[in-house]
Structure 1
Amino acid sequence: MDLSDYEADNSVSCRLASAIPDVCKTEDCCLGIDEAGRGPVLGPMVYGICFCPVSKKEDLKDLKVADSKTLTEAEREHLFSKVDESKSFVGWALQILSANTISNSMLQRAKYNLNALSHDAAIGLVQFALDNGVQLKEVFVDTVGPAEKYQDKLSQRFPGVEVTVRPKADSLFPIVSAASICAKVARDHAVKDWVFSEDLGDVDTDYGSGYPSDPKTKAWMLKYLDPVFGYPQFVRFSWSTAQTLLDSKAVPVHWDDDEEDGEKAAARKNNTSVLSYFSNAKTDESARQAHRFFTERRLHSLDTL
C-alpha cells in the first residue's frame, strides 16, 4: 500500500483511494465501513470503506476476507493484495486521521469527541463514494456508540440507501471485513514506517502495539517525554495516558489568565448583559436612560408586537 501522500506530512489527515470500477457506476452496490486504531495512544486512526456491486457479493466472499483482528499481519497483507487486485469490481477508500488531528479535535475549546470524529469520517467516505458515481444501495457499518442511533443518523443523511449498523459487523458482512483489512493494513504501514518531524536523534521504534496497556508503549512514552515540549506528534495528547504522564513528569506551566484578579472579576460581575435589553420582564422606562441614538429618533422598547 502506497502511503506516500500521507507520509509527506503525517501531522494532518489524508484521504487515499483506489480507482472506481466502472461496474460500480452502473450497478447497485454495497459498501462496508470499519476502522483501525481507535484505542491506541500512538499513531493515526484509519477509517476504511470497501464497495462492490451487490451482484458480486459471492465473488467478494470467495476472496476469503475476514475480520482483520483475527488475522496475522502477513494474512492481512495477502488479503489486501487480493482485494486491490480485484479492481474490476472492488473499490476502496481510506480516511487517515492523524494523531495530531485527533488531539487538536478533542482538546479544542468546543469539544469534538472521538465518536463525533468517527461518525464524520464515515459520513465523509460514503459521500466520497457517491460523489464519484458509485451507485450505493446498501451500507453496512460496525457500530460506534448506540447502533440504533447511529443507523438513524446515517439513514437520514443518505436517504434512499439501506443502512445496517451492527456490533461486530466486520465478522458478519464480508464487505465490512474487506474495509477492516484495508484500514488495518494502512495503519500498520503508517505506524511501522513513521517519519518523525521532530529532531529526536536515533529514535527507538520498538513502541509495541501503541495501546496504553502495552508495557513497551508505556516505556517508550516515558523515554520520549520532553519535560517542556511534551511528546512528538506521533502521540495523541488527548489520551488520559499521555495527560497523566505529562502531569507527573513534565514541568508545570502556569498561565496568567487562568484566574482573574479581584478587580477584573468584580468588573465582569457588575457588567450588565446585552441580553437584558431583550428581556420580557416589564420595566419602568423612565428608570433606564436611553442612549441618545434612540431618543433623537424617538425610538423606544416594545413589550409586545
Structure 2
Amino acid sequence: MDLSAFEADNSVSCRLTSPVPDACRTEDCCLGIDEAGRGPVLGPMVYGICFCPVSKKEELKNLNVADSKTLTEAERENLFLKLDKAKSFVGWALQVLSPNTISTNMLQRVKYNLNALSHDAAIGLVQYALDCGVQLKEVFVDTVGPAEKYEEKLSKRFPGVKVTVRPKADSLFPVVSAASICAKVARDHAVKGWTFAEDLGEVDTDYGSGYPNDPKTKSWLLKYLDPVFGYPQFVRFSWSTAQTLLDSKAFAVHWDDDEEDGEKGAARQKNTSMLSYFSHSKPKGHSPTHKTHRFFTERRLQNVDTF
C-alpha cells in the first residue's frame, strides 16, 4: 500500500484497511491490537489491528516484528512494507482518530474519557475483522486501564473468542507488535503530511516530540495560538497544556449559564472579552476584504442571509 494514504485530512477521523487474506476466512486466526500517539498534544491517535491464521504465527514472528517503540523510523517502515507484502496471510486495519475528534469527545457534557474512546476504537476494529469474515479465535491486546476489567469487557463483547490483555503486549506477542508497527507508521505519516490552513502561512514543523513536556512543543503551541479561535486542528485542545495557554493568552468567553463565582469572574476580568474582537463598528454596506478565518474553512462554514 502507498504510505501517502496515511496522510490525514485535518479534522477527519478515518479507517484504513488492507485486503483480507483468503486464508483468514478459512482458518482459525489470531489478532493483535495496539495504539500509537496516546500521549502527545499534537496530531492524531491511531489504533491498529493485525491478524493472521494461527498456523502462521511463526512466519509472522520470522518477519522480526518488535515493539515499535524499540525501532527506528526506518526500521518500522521497512517492517510495515514486509507486513504489506505478506498479504497472503497477514491483514491489518487502522482507526485514525483526529485531534479534533479526541478533544470534542473528551470535552462533551457526557463524560467520555480517553480510555473509553480507546476501548471503543479497539472494539470497532475487532468487529470490522469479524464482519469481513475473519475466523477470529484469539485476540491479544495491550492494556488500557486495568487489564482484568478490559479483558472481561472484551470477552463479554466477543463470546467465543479467547481474549488476552497484558501490559507490554507489544513486546510479548508478535501479532501485537505487528499492530503496533502499523499504527506507529500511520501516525508518523499523518503528522508529517499534515495539511495546515492557508492563512497560517508557512508553518514551522519543528514542534519537537509533540509531548506536552517538550519545550519545543510548548513554544510551537504558543506561536500558533490565535487569541479568538484557538489552535489549528492539529492540536488536541482538551490537553491541559493547551488549555493552560488558552486560559492565559486567549480572549475569555462568557457563556450565559456560567456561574458568577469569584474564580470565573476573576478570570473574565483578567482577560479581554472575546466580544471585543467583534465590537468594531463597520460602515453600512461595508464589504470585508480579509480572508475567511481557518476556523470557518476547516469546518466548512459560510455566511448565509436566508434560511
**TM-score tier (shorter):** 0.7 to 0.9
- Quote how far apart the aligned CAs of 1:256 are: 2.8
Aligned to 1:71: 71
1:198 and 1:232 in contact (8 A); partners too: no
Deviation of the 1:2 alpha carbon? 4.0
| AA at the equivalent of 2:85 | E
Shift of residue 259, structure 1, vs aligned partner: 3.7
Instruction: Give the aligned partner of residue 290 of structure 1.
Output: none
What secondary structure sits across from 1:258 in the alignment? Answer: coil
Write the letter of the residue equivalent to 2:212: P
Structure 2: runs of 5+ lacking an equivalent: 261-307
**CA 1:213 to 1:8, structure 2 compared with 1: closer, same or farther past 3 Å?**
closer
1:216 Cα deviation (Å)? Answer: 1.0
* C-alpha separation in 1, matches of 2:23 and 2:240: 46
Shift of 1:71: 0.3
The 2-side partners of 1:216 and 1:17 are apart by 34
Task: Using the TM superposition, give the Cα deviation of residue 55 of structure 1 relative to its aligned residue in structure 2, in angstroms.
Answer: 0.2
Q: 1:31, 1:140 within 8 Å by CA — same for their partners in 2?
A: yes
- Residue 257 of structure 2 aligns to a residue whose secondary structure is helix
Contact 2:14 2:95 in 1 (8 A): yes
Q: Distance in 1 between matches of 2:244 and 2:69?
A: 29
How far apart, in 2, do the equivalents of 1:86 and 1:56 lie? 11
Q: Which residue of 1 aligns with 2:151?
A: 151
Q: Which residue of 2 aligns with 1:23?
A: 23
Q: Which residue of 2 aligns with 1:135?
A: 135
The secondary structure found in structure 1 opposite 2:195 is coil
> Retained in 2: the 8 A contact 1:208–1:214?
yes
In the TM superposition, residue 102 of structure 1 has moved relative to its aligned partner by 0.2
Q: Which residue number in structure 2 is paired with residue 292 of structure 1?
A: none
Which residue pairs with 2:244 in the alignment?
244
Q: Deviations over 1:45-66 (max 9, x none)?
A: 0000000000000000000000
The CA deviation at 1:9 is 3.0
Written as runs of structure 1 = structure 2, the 5 A alignment for 1:77-226 is 77-197=77-197, 199-226=199-226
Segment drifting more, 144-153 vs 4-13 = 4-13
Between stretches 208-217 and 96-105, larger displacement belongs to 208-217
Q: How far, CA to CA, are the matches of 1:2 and 1:232 in structure 2?
A: 27
Secondary structure of 1:199's counterpart equals helix
* Inter-partner Cα distance in structure 2 for 1:202 and 1:136: 47
Contact 1:5 1:14 in 2 (8 A): no
Q: Over aligned residues, Cα RMSD in angstroms?
A: 1.5
Question: In the aligned structure 1, how far is the partner of 2:7 from the partner of 2:84?
Answer: 20
Going from structure 1 to structure 2, the CA distance change for 1:202 and 1:229 (only over 3 Å counts) comes to same
Partners of 1:210 and 1:217 within 8 A in 2: yes
Q: 1:196 to 1:182 in 2, by over 3 A?
A: same
- TM-superposed CA distance for 1:253, in Å, is 1.9
| Offset of residue 223 of structure 1 | 0.5
Question: Aligned partner of 2:241: which letter?
Answer: T
d(CA) in 2 for partners of 1:207 and 1:199? 19
116 and 17 in structure 1: CA distance in 2 versus 1, 3 angstrom threshold: same
Instruction: Quickly say closer, same or farther: Cα 1:212–1:142, change in 2 above 3 A.
Output: same
Query: Amino acid of the residue matched to residue 157 of structure 1?
Result: R
Q: Is the 8 A contact 2:7 2:191 kept in 1?
A: no
Q: 1:119 aligns to what SS in structure 2?
A: helix
State the number of aligned residues.
261
Q: Higher mean Cα deviation, 13-22 or 213-222?
A: 213-222
8 A contact 2:19–2:91 mirrored in 1: yes
Structure 2 counterpart SS, 1:77 = helix
**Which residue of structure 2 lines up, in the alignment, with residue 235 of structure 1?**
235
For residue 43 of structure 2, what is the aligned residue in structure 1? 43
What is the one-letter code of the residue matched to 1:206? D
- Of 149-158 and 221-230, more deviation after overlay is shown by 221-230
Matching residue of 1:300:
none
SS in 2 for 1:100: helix
Unpaired runs of 5+ residues, structure 1, are 261-305
Query: Computing the radius of gyration over CA atoms, which structure comes out larger, 1 or 2?
Result: 1
Tell me the CA shift for residue 14 of structure 1: 0.2
Cα 1:68–1:30 change in 2 (3 A) is same
Q: Return the offset for 1:197.
A: 3.2
Confirm whether residue 54 of structure 1 aligns to residue 75 of structure 2.
no
CA distance in 2: counterparts of 1:7 and 1:166, whole angstroms: 31
2:250 partner amino acid = A
Q: 1:72, 1:102 → 2: CA distance?
A: 27
In structure 1, what is the Cα distance between the partners aligned to 2:156 and 2:10? 33
Q: Match of 1:118, as an amino acid?
A: S
Conserved 8 A contact 2:34-2:179: yes
Following superposition, the deviation at residue 257 of structure 1 comes to 2.8
